[in-house]
Amino acid sequence: MVHFSLTTESGLALIDLSVLPRAGIKGKCLSQWIESKRYEVDEEPNRAYAQRDGVLIARLSPGELMLLANPADASMDAMTYSLEATYNCYPVRRQDSHYWFALTGVRCPAMLAKLCSVDLSPDIFADGTVAQTSVARTSAVIVRHDIEDVLCYYLLGDSSTILYMWTCLVDAMKEFDGQILTPPALDNLAHKT
């Protein structure tokens, strides 16, 4: 693994964020739950909404949210397991069910085009867009969440396929000189400005 600082010039990097907190919540009365938490999440599904505390909330459907911690701090840690069944909603163990990778850099769309049939180019797949699709023949959630000026896609998929997907990505990245980084690279980037 190469350790170096991620910059806006970096063409492509893969970071395993699976150690960071994430959670999910499902139910019919999500709006009440969202309100109770003072989150700002629109009704439109397949969009991700950054919160003031850095948590990113991806709305997967009218009745389902996925919460991703701010890589810069693990403040969601406590929340991960404390989501309670309330307002007719129940927590979903996304920490267990899904791996979480970050893919950064301008070459991401080209690299991902080797694995996924969704057009992820920046002018088509806008910041904050969510795609629930197939990547290398496995179900996956792709969330575009740029960090500062760096193009960034979160890729989340079935935990049992983490090694398979990692191998696919490393293989696909070769022609783009992709680098494998550790989570602090993303953290540093977020704190740069």
Partner 1 sequence: MSKFTTSRLPEPWGSVINRDHTISFRFEGKGYQGYEGDTLASALAANGVMLLSRSFKYHRPRGAFTFAGLDANSYVQVGDEPNVLADMLPISAGLSAMGQNYLGSLYRDHAVHAGRLSRFLPVGFYYRAFFRPKGIWPLWERFFRRAAGLGKINCNADEAYFDKQYLFADVAVIGGGPAGLSAALAAARAGANVLLIEEAATLGGSLNYARFQRHRRDVDSLRDSLIGQVEQNDNIRVLVGATCNGWFPDNWLALSRPNRLYKLRAKHVIACTGSVEQAMVFRNNDLPGVLPASGTQRLMRLYGICPGSRAVVATANAEGYDVVLDLLEAGISVQAVIDVNQSAASPELVEQVSTMGVAVHQACTVGEAIPRTGLRSITGVVINKLAESGEATGESWQLDCDLLVTSVGYAPLGQLVCHAGGELIYDDALNSFIVTNVPPDSGLAGSVNHRYALDAVLADGRTAGLDAARALGLNPEADSQIMPDSGAGGINHPYPIYPHRKGKDFVDFDEDQTVADLQNAVADGFEHPELAKRYSTVGMGPSQGRLSSLNALRIVQRVSGDHLAGASVTTQRPPFKPVSFGVLAGRSFEPERLTPMHRWHADNGAVFMPAGMWKRPAYYAGNKDRAATVAEQVAEEVAVIRGNVGVIDVSTLGGIEIRGPDAAEFLNRMYTFAYKKQPVGRARYLLMTDDTGGIVDDGVACRLDDEHFYITTTTTGSDTVYRNMLRRNAEWGLEIDALNVTSTYAGMNIAGPMSRQVMEKIESDMDFSKDAFPYLAVRQGTINGIPVIAMRVGFVGELGYELHVPWTQALAMWKKLIAVGAQFGIRPVGVEAQRVLRLEKGHIIIGQDTDSLTMPRDAALDWAVTSSKPYFIGKPAIGLSETRPQSRLLVGFRLLNSDGPVPEESHLVVRDDAIVGRVTSVAWSEALDEVIGLAYVAPEQAESGANFQIKVSQGLMVAAQTVQTPFYDPENLRQAL
Contact residues: partner 1, CB under 8 A: 26-27, 63, 90, 92-93, 95-98, 110, 113-117, 119, 121, 123-124, 136-138, 158-164, 168, 171-172
Q: How many CB atoms lie within 10 A of CB 135?
A: 22
Report the residue number, 9 or 123, with the smaller CB distance to partner 1.
Answer: 123
CB of 137 to partner 1, least distance (A): 4
Report the residue number, 49 or 164, with the smaller CB distance to partner 1.
Answer: 164
Structure tokens at 48: 């991700």
Report the residue number, 94 or 145, with the smaller CB distance to partner 1.
Answer: 94
Q: How many CB atoms lie within 10 A of CB 47?
A: 17
Report the residue number, 92 or 147, with the smaller CB distance to partner 1.
Answer: 92
In sequence order, what are the residues at sequence separation of 6 or more whose Cβ sits closer than 8 angstroms to the Cβ of residue 17? 71, 100, 101, 102, 154, 183, 186
Report which of 65, 68, 47, 22 is spatially closest to residue 130, judged by C-alpha positions. 47
Structure tokens at 119: 């057009």
CB of 130 to partner 1, least distance (A): 18
CB of 33 to partner 1, least distance (A): 14
CB of 161 to partner 1, least distance (A): 6
Structure tokens at 114: 């080797």
CB of 171 to partner 1, least distance (A): 8
CB of 35 to partner 1, least distance (A): 20
Task: Tell me if 145 sits within 8 A of 47, measured CB to CB.
Answer: no
Distances (CA, A) of 97 to 44, 100, 174: 24, 10, 28
Question: Which amino acid type is present at position 136?
Answer: A
Report the residue number, 3 or 28, with the smaller CB distance to partner 1.
Answer: 28
Report the residue number, 132 or 159, with the smaller CB distance to partner 1.
Answer: 159
